[in-house]
Chain A
């Protein structure tokens, strides 16, 4: 089946096509068509006998955006209604997976990105230069801040002791004492006394 060139306004988009395209990807598709228009000849838009698109809805929109007046099509006039519905979906299903080793070794990622491939962001991350940290001295500041980290333990009291414990805690805190250190010393001493 040979493609034929027709005026773009003769073709109708398929209102039942459930595929969507986001703005950034659409721009990439437009650029891809502008950069390599001959690909349309090799992979034409597929339409039914009423010139409604079965395959290539997004490319059709991108061709309009790219300013094309004529585009190559193939008319699939032998399909029944069920087959047309199946074609719309099957034409968009991708079964394969990418071999990232081959992509990494044989292609450059910026071109792949330009061609519309969905690449993880990290592929474009430049190596970060850590050498500036060698020129600056932060050690004292780091040590001092590390030393000022405080963490809390919850110590349960019997209800009858709670108010007294609270009052004593407040007394020592207000006096500027490090209550955590006082408790620690007491507990260490008691353990020593118990020979444990």
Chain B
């Protein structure tokens, strides 16, 4: 048990599902201490032979060690997880019983409570190491798991006391403590209640004032700073660039987009537009219809669109750049347009890699396509990803 706790407290310790035999625990530990996994495996098997301790430690480690890269999100528990847990428990039990009958055994008074503590402790630890704010429907499961864990640990204590026949003495102590607690509870109940209420009121007030402070801090860092900069700037272009950047930031902050739409195409394009706008001092407007998750291919699309925006900002003669992205039925079109003097796409020298490599080549490598049309009215780059 102690050994297992020690290993889990190391934060970088992760199971390695890619080289696993059972759960990847040995491979994970081997990775961490930089030895061959076989060494760790042999050590575990030896520990398992010596009274079954190895099994307990392994099971606990399996539960407690988070999986490293390579395994698709193991938390949450699929439909089969209860069966798997039951199966593992029964398997461990049968092995323990086998060792017991073989005589490789400490004593009932130690091993059984230890097993219960291990199981209960594992449940509790797993609960506490999970994400802090679980979705609502997961909360009931969390409570019942925590309850089960507590019950198991208490049972372990009782079994140990029973086995060492000190339960009667313990019962007297518990009874005395219980009586004292009830008496004190009745006496102090009103104070305790009031204390709890005032604490929760205080907490609510603290949260409110924290929110106010956060908003004040945000406005100070962003809007007030920008206003100060605007007052000192002489160049109207610079003023409008500052104002637009601030507007973008404030809108994103007000709509709470920053933490919600992360990893979506539309917000990635808007971020790219904001960067280009800032770097080149040219207005870049993004209109998006429909949206999709970001993956390797749509990342490439954003990168190509960004390159097109940079080109439009550089060679568009200072005209505003329009970006339009449309996602429908799994297909995404992105148009990047400027109103500059235009150029001849065929006349671009071979060594200019911007369009050929970063836009057309990149899209083709990801099964998309790109086309550039240019006239004296401006240039439009069209990107398509199926």
Question: Are A and B interaction partners?
Answer: no
